[in-house]
Chain A
Amino acid sequence: MDILTIVLVVLVAFLAGVESILDQFQFHQPIICCTLMGLVSGNLEAGILLGGTLQMMALGWANVGAAIAPDAALASVGSSIVMILALEGGNVAVADAIVTSIAVATPVSVAGTGLSMIGRTIAIPMVHAMDKAAETANFKMIEFWHWAAITMQGVKVAIPALALCFVAPDAVEAAMTAMPVWLVNGMAVGGGMVAAVGYAMVINLMASKEVWPFFALGFIVAIIGEITLIGLGVIGVSLALVFITLKEAGSAGSGSVDALGDILDDY
């Protein structure tokens, strides 16, 4: 990679790091991050493909409760850089580069958990500095420490990205071309299944007796290929509205819950 590309790649990684804590503009989501990485390295289309593929796997990745998901920012940044390096020589097919870079980078993103813990600890003395600035109503100083904290979060991802940029492209390319077909195909098969983990996290968070039937409905309706995702969304929203209305009606008219009982009582 030339210097300009490295600078831009590190900048995109910085944004991803910032967003991994803010979770607002979504620069850490694969579909955005990988696309930007592709753009700055001249592999726009490969970046979009990688972003779309990784996004599908990462749909349910969010840290809620005890389950800590792989870090979307590191997975996106890591897989993008590996892919860029692999494509540099021109001897690796884009599809293979995507599959292998995801398989390589996703496990590495486990490091994100550790990095995130470090970042959230380093922020403690920073808010102590804010406390101190508050004593004298020093607005500027409070703002300074807030920006310092967010910069620290960006650097947290930018540094590993910078290090990764200096891996020799030849080595990455050689490793990828040397991979036997079964390994590449096997990683593709694994990648096809990995989306299940994200979905499972969502299911475990939301599932209750009353909403499981909707999962079954969604699964079966999706078999009909003509229904687009937007179509599925429309059906889902309609079902949700109907369900809420019925549930409310059910709890309002308490006498009608046991219809047979009512009839028997009347009899």
Chain B
Amino acid sequence: MTQERIVLTKKDRRAVATRHQFLQASWNYERMQNGGWCFAIIPAIKRLYPNKDDQIAALKRHLEFYNTQPYCSAPVMGVTLALEEERANGANVDDSAIQGVKIGMMGPLAGVGDPVFWFTARPIIGALAASLAMDGSIVGPILFFVLWNVMRYAFIFYTQEMGYNLGTTITKDLSGGLLGKITTGASVLGMFIIGGLVQRWVNISISADILVNKDSGATLQAQIDALTPGLLGLLVTLGCCWLLKKKVSPIVIILGLFVVGIVGTLVNIF
């Protein structure tokens, strides 16, 4: 025991987490999030490697290719910090081990991060906030901003700590079905909520001038509502699913829907 062990302080780790929020700033087609990753880990490099040659080597190895969902990158960072700390204290952790852990974790984590954050959490919080905002309430935007950012930063910091504390054992947890469970749970929740959103927020109603029974004055829309309210919205949504599967661009579909709306109104269908 000749030398005192160099460790990353909580302050260092917080500095890394804070910088990690800018992961995608220099996103590029060549090595994707490499610049942001290197930018984030700089405080740790400064702490762990006083020697300039070691610093150069560390910067270079953290400018390698990297890409994942920006929030789910946090546990990867935690594990990497643990590995770098070991290395700085003389353990035999080579470059390929560190790069291997990064590459090994980024794929599965992107696979769970995209559905959880972009397709479950954001639509749900967004819909809740938007429904308030559509009544003109400032609470909507504030709720969205505060809720999202508190949740996001807490996730980034705590999953990084988790990765740091567990080190490479976390990779076993991840492959042990935890990610699979989260993805399944998010899909169930997401599909349920989207079903509800389609019912409430895809609005189409047929003109009251279109009657199914001239004598009673029953409108077609009333007939459809008697079957299931929101049925037309459902059909339009499923039609969009089908078109997207046929590789039609979402932008073309959006334009098409505006055209349908305008032409339909002109000829008095809507």
Interface of A toward B, CB cutoff 8 Å? 18, 21-26, 29, 31-32, 35, 44-45, 48-49, 51-53, 55-56, 58-62, 64, 66-70, 103, 106-107, 110, 120-121, 123-124, 126-127, 130-131, 133-137, 139, 142-143, 145-147, 149-150, 153, 182-183, 185-208, 211-212, 214-223, 229-230, 232-233, 235-237, 239-241, 243-244, 247-248
Contact = CB atoms under 8 A, between A and B. Distances in A.
Contacts of A235: 192
B78 interface: no
Contacts of A25: 21, 145, 149
Given A150-B25, A192-B204, A59 B190 contact: no
B237 A200 contact: yes
Given A51-B133, A134-B63, A189-B270, A201 B39 contact: no
Interface size on B, as a range, is 35 or more
Interface of B: 21-31, 34-36, 38-39, 42, 46, 52, 55-56, 59-60, 63, 70, 114-115, 118-119, 122-124, 126-138, 140-141, 144-145, 148-149, 152, 181, 184-204, 228-230, 233-234, 236-241, 243-245, 247, 249-251, 253-255, 257-266, 270
B28 A62 contact: no
Contacts of A136: 56
Contacts of B255: 107
Contact of B30 (A127, A145, A215, A217): A127
A126 to B, nearest CB: 6
B195 A216 contact: yes
Contact of A55 (B36, B39, B126, B250): B126
A53 B127 CA distance: 10
B138 A48 contact: yes
B265 A123 contact: no
A149 B35 contact: yes
Nearest to B265: A186
A239 B266 contact: no
B191 A207 contact: yes
Contact of A123 (B27, B122, B136, B194): B27
Contacts of B135: 52
B144 A143 contact: no
A121 B127 contact: no
A199 B197 contact: yes
Contacts of A207: 191, 241
A216 B228 CA distance: 12
B270 A208 contact: no
Given A52-B131, A124-B29, A59 B56 contact: no
Contacts of B132: 52
A52 B130 contact: yes
A187 B145 contact: no
A196 B204 CA distance: 11
A22 B134 CA distance: 27
A26 B195 contact: no
Given A143-B42, A239-B192, A35 B123 contact: no
A192 B104 CA distance: 43
B245 A204 contact: yes
A199 B254 contact: no
A204 to B, nearest CB: 5
A208 B130 CA distance: 28
Given A21-B27, A130-B26, A236 B228 contact: no
A48 B59 contact: no
